Amino acid sequence: MGKAGRAGGAGERSAIVVGGGIGGLAAGVALTRSGWQVKVLERAATFGEVGAGLSLWPNGLRALDAMGVGDQIREQALVETQAGIRNTSGRWLSRTDTQELARRFGPVVMIHRAQLFDILRTALPAGALCAGATVTRISVRGRRVEVEHGKGVSQADLLVAADGIDSTVRRSLWPQAPAPRYAGYTAWRLVVDTGRRLSAGGESWGRGERVGIAPLTDGRTYLFCVANAPEGQRNPGNELAEMRRRFGHWHDPIPQLLTAADEEAVMRHDIYALPPLASFVTGRAALLGDAAHAMTPNLGQGANQALEDAVTLAGLLDAYPDVESALATYDRHRRPRTQMIARRSHRIGIVAQWHSAPAAALRDLMLRLPPGSAMLNALTPILSWQPPGRDNLMGPHVG
């Protein structure tokens, strides 16, 4: 990735990034490394991330390498050495050859979201971060964009919308875009400290329910649970009790993790996805991450695709002489790929959440039949992604 952005003419180029999550910070880091002056606007009073784990796949790690922070990530992350799917009694239905996956593509690592967030945040100049900046007005006029927010009015050559699935920028500049849709299931997430480190994780599937476990570097464990449920259903003050009711009888170490869990650590969110958009760009504005392609978490690719977006956008702005051409190519590169991954994730979620006994039994049989290499082959179009270079920037890119 170059050190001096070309798009937009002579002089230092400027960009406003709306949204201070992982995708927004990644965009800020990638653009800063390409010579852009960046301001990241975050509506919250402080920059921070929720207490949950995050899988970084080989494609996401390559993007982080392109931003110059990959080694820092690896120092704080834990390589996943065991993965696969069990049933509720603990019998393996499908096992992932993590050694072969690492040989083909590179390792998968688990990190606390807050650790990744802090690494990206500290890679930005202190003056680039602007908290408490709720966007109230956006205009794109010719070669300039203007954003009015809680701290004043900012102008720049480029606007990057990384403000999540309910993006204010998308609603403003893409008024015809479809609204997010409920996937039909809800998720609980928390980090648990049992006083002992787990040696391995993985997922377990039941009838309309799932549990995922991932050890973290500090000895704690990231735990997520998924269940079919009506949209908006909640158990105020009793979410942990609901988790124990649903999953407390599953195989070890799930009951022990739930016993050690703290109600205050439980986060519950219904799962939504964004229907396919006709374009990720308009004028000098581009959508990135969940604002562009929010997907269900069944492939673990949401954050990884935001990281890909960030380095691709910065690389294209280096490669093209003007912002509009760079953004048009960004749309051609990113939209087919991310929408393909979103479709795959949606289909996996449908099968994983089958509830009837015959359907779940058929699904479990289907998981046991294919050889382990079949799963790796299916992941190849996703995990083989490489950061953009001069030789692969100019045409459509799906794989």
- Decide: 183 and 313 in contact? Cβ < 8 Å: no
The predicted-structure confidence for 230-242, as pLDDT tens digits, reads as follows 999 999 989 999 9
Assess if residue 33 is contained within a domain.
yes
pLDDT at 6: 54
The tokens of 298 are what?
């069944």
In angstroms, the CA 331 to CA 65 distance is: 23
Query: For position 150, what pLDDT does the model report?
Result: 85
Q: Which of 225, 302, 299 is closest to 269 using CA atoms?
A: 225
- Provide the domain limits for residue 32: 14-81+107-180+274-350
Cα–Cα dist 287/293, whole Å: 9
Q: Is the residue at 41 inside a domain?
A: yes
In a domain, 331, yes or no: yes
Give me the pLDDT at residue 5, please: 44
Burial class of residue 176 (count of CB atoms within 10 Å of its CB; 0-12, 13-18, 19+):
exposed
Is residue 120 within 8 A of residue 25, CB to CB? The reply is yes
CA gap 189, 51 in Å, rounded? 8
Q: Name the nearest CA neighbour of 301 among 342, 269, 271.
A: 342
Please list, in sequence order, all residues whose beta carbon lies within 8 angstroms of the beta carbon of residue 314, skipping any fewer than 6 positions away: 1, 5, 27, 30, 31, 33, 34, 36
Residue 251 placed within a domain: no
Nearby residues of 315 by Cβ (< 8 Å), 6 or more positions away: 1, 34, 66, 387, 388, 389, 393
Q: Is residue 36 part of a domain?
A: yes
- Tens digits of pLDDT across the chain (399 residues): 544 445 544 468 999 999 999 999 999 999 999 999 999 999 998 888 777 899 999 999 999 999 999 999 999 999 988 889 999 999 999 999 999 999 999 999 999 999 999 999 999 998 999 999 999 999 988 889 999 998 899 999 999 999 999 999 999 999 999 999 999 999 999 999 998 888 888 999 999 999 999 999 999 999 999 999 999 999 998 999 999 999 999 999 999 999 999 999 999 999 999 999 999 999 999 999 999 999 999 999 999 999 999 999 999 999 999 999 999 999 999 999 999 999 999 999 999 999 999 999 999 999 999 887 888 999 999 999 999 875 555 544 444
Q: In this structure, what are the phi and psi dihedrals at residue 39, rounded to the nearest 5 degrees? A: -125, 125
The pTM (predicted TM-score) of the whole model is: 0.94
Q: What is the CATH number of the domain that holds 57?
A: 3.50.50.60
352 alpha-carbon distance from chain centroid: 20
Per-residue pLDDT reduced to its tens digit, 98-155:
999 999 999 999 999 999 999 999 999 989 999 999 999 999 888 899 999 988 999 9
Q: Tell me, yes or no, whether 63 lies in a domain.
A: yes
Taking CA atoms, 223 is separated from 55, 240, 242, in Å, by: 12, 12, 15
pLDDT score for 1: 52
Are 74 and 349 within 8 A, CB to CB?
no
137 belongs to a structural domain:
yes
Alpha-carbon distance 216 to 198, whole Å? 9
Total domains in the chain come to 1
92 lies in some domain = no
DSSP string, 168-212: HHHHHH-TTSPPPEEEEEEEEEEEE--SS--S--EEEE-SSEEEE
Run of H or E residues at 79: strand 78-79
